[in-house]
Amino acid sequence: MIRSLLLDLDDTLLGNEVDAFLSQYFGLIGDYARPFFDESTFLPMLIQATQAMIGDTNPELTNDLVFWSVFEELTGGTRANLEPFFRRFYETEFLNLKAFTVLRPAAAALVRAAIDQGLAVVVATNPLFPRIAIEHRLAWAGLPVSEFDFALVTAYENMHAAKPQPAYYREILNVVGVEAGQALMVGDDWLNDIVPAAEAGLLTYWIAPDDAVPADPSLLSGHGSLDKLADLVIGGRLQQLGA
């Protein structure tokens, strides 16, 4: 029986073409950082610290600790001095990125129905951003955390691994308290969402056109649009995917 629903955010719950979004994000934060950092080195340092989070699976270190350990070493600054810069960015300039996203009405309906049915709903977005940035994107998706009782929202402050590490999915299972076979991971990215979740033993649902050909059908419990999945959940038929 499926007891937990893990939902990717970008291009799953929220229309957000990741490559285009990141291009705009790096442009914005690069411009914002110009008065404080050498523009020729800031973005490479930011990317290097982010890549460190992706590669790290030390269960003793949350992703934010990994990020700041590398970023402090690269910049020569301290988290205490630099973190307010990032917080101001996420409170102000980051909001301009909403224009590059698209609301998917099925998202709120799906999540509401899943929660009402007693499922533990997890926002399983890659935890490379601070919680404040993820909460903004959830609000853009019509899913403000003040209105939806998520079992977990993964962020860089509370996770010890990131996609595409199977350890990321195992940690979610431990936090939520379900077995791998009782959890369904839903996402659009084959390599980040489907392959590592399946390796961790989870059921998987690939957000893709109905006629899309999966690289390995054996990894999937189903695939199709978010609207199609929402119809299953709202209609009380989600358990068909776990049969």
Q: Which fold has domain 4-16+103-242?
A: Rossmann fold (3.40.50)
**pLDDT for residue 103:** 98
DSSP 3-state of 236 = coil
| Strand partners for 4 | 120, 183
**pLDDT for residue 24:** 94
The helix/strand count (H/E) of the chain reads as 9, 8
- Strand 183-187 to 14-15 pairing: unpaired
**pLDDT for residue 242:** 81
What DSSP string runs through 14-70?
Answer: EE--HHHHHHHHHHHHHHHHTTTS-HHHHHHHHHHHHHHHHH---TTS-HHHHHHHH
- Total residues found in the chain within this entry: 243
**pLDDT for residue 145:** 98
Separation CA 128–CA 193 (nearest Å): 15
| Strand partners for 185 | 6, 204
Over the chain (243 residues), the average pLDDT of each successive run of 10 is 98 92 93 90 96 95 98 96 96 96 98 98 98 98 98 98 98 98 98 99 96 95 97 96 81
Q: pTM of the full predicted structure?
A: 0.96
**pLDDT for residue 146:** 98
DSSP 3-state of 198 = helix
> Could you tell me the two tokens for 66?
């990994």
**pLDDT for residue 82:** 94
| Contact by Cβ (8 Å): 109, 230 | yes
Which residues lie below 8 Å from residue 175, measured CB to CB, with a gap of 6+? Answer: 152
List the chain domain ranges.
Answer: 4-16+103-242, 19-98
